[in-house]
Amino acid sequence: MRRLAIAVAAMLVAATAGAQMYRWVDKDGKVQYTDTPPPAAAKSVQKRGTGPAPTDTGPAAPYAVQQAAKNFPVLVYTSANCGKACADGKALLAARGVPYREISVGGDGGISAEEMKKATGGSDGVPVMMVGKSATRGFESEMWHTALDAAGYPRGAPPLSAQAQKAAQASAAPKADAPKAEPPPAEPEKPKGPYAPK
């Protein structure tokens, strides 16, 4: 008997989950909520629950990928004339479900080769994959897999969709209006007085 009551309650909840709800104000100014249409004299009628709940546009990244991306973000330095190596590197990251930020070297809107050398620790060729602070120069799939494994990116993550990659690029991009860090003071003031160290 108890199981029957639970089953009936579950069916009622399921049946009303997609039902229309109406919010309206009656002639006395009281707010009413009903599942039937309000009378013609009702004021401020609002229809609620007009459709199914919105669905997620795509699967969220697995927790292990989120943690690895937080602790060891991936940057990929590419250029317009990089060719197959850059395309293969980006394909490997997408297939493995790794969110990354692509930085173009040279050309319009890209950083200079000197800036890339400074950021990557002296590398002047592309592609360069930075996993956290560790640089992997050139593209060799096993080297890239090893660097990603060491950072905790799982190999079994779902592939990264184009929409998810664009979202990752947008969230990782530096903000143009972000405050710049102030340089540290040149030298701290030396203590003065009779008891100051000499």
- What does the pLDDT look like over 139-153, one tens digit per residue? 999 999 999 999 999
pTM (predicted TM-score) = 0.55
Please indicate, yes or no, if residue 29 is contained in any of the structural domains: no
Residue 74 has pLDDT above 90, yes or no: yes
User: What rounded mean pLDDT belongs to the chain?
Assistant: 77
**Looking at the DSSP assignment, which residues form a beta bridge with residue 130?**
75, 135
Please indicate, yes or no, if residue 163 is contained in any of the structural domains: yes
Cα separation, 122 vs 138, whole angstroms: 13
Residue 163 has pLDDT above 70, yes or no: no
What's the count of helices (H) and strands (E) in the chain, helices before strands? 6, 7
pLDDT at 52: 42
Please indicate, yes or no, if residue 178 is contained in any of the structural domains: no
Share of the chain above pLDDT 70, in %: 72
Please indicate, yes or no, if residue 25 is contained in any of the structural domains: no
Residue that has been written with the tokens 């540290």 in this structure: 184
CB of 78 closer than 8 Å to CB of 45 = no
- The predicted-structure confidence for 97-130, as pLDDT tens digits, reads as follows 899 999 888 877 778 888 888 888 887 788 999 9
Please indicate, yes or no, if residue 188 is contained in any of the structural domains: no
**Containing structural domain, residue 168:** 63-172
pLDDT at 195: 85
| Tokens standing for residue 28 | 């006395």
Please indicate, yes or no, if residue 74 is contained in any of the structural domains: yes
Residue 54 has pLDDT above 50, yes or no: no
Please indicate, yes or no, if residue 36 is contained in any of the structural domains: no
CATH of the domain at 136: 3.40.30.10
Q: How many domains does the chain have?
A: 1
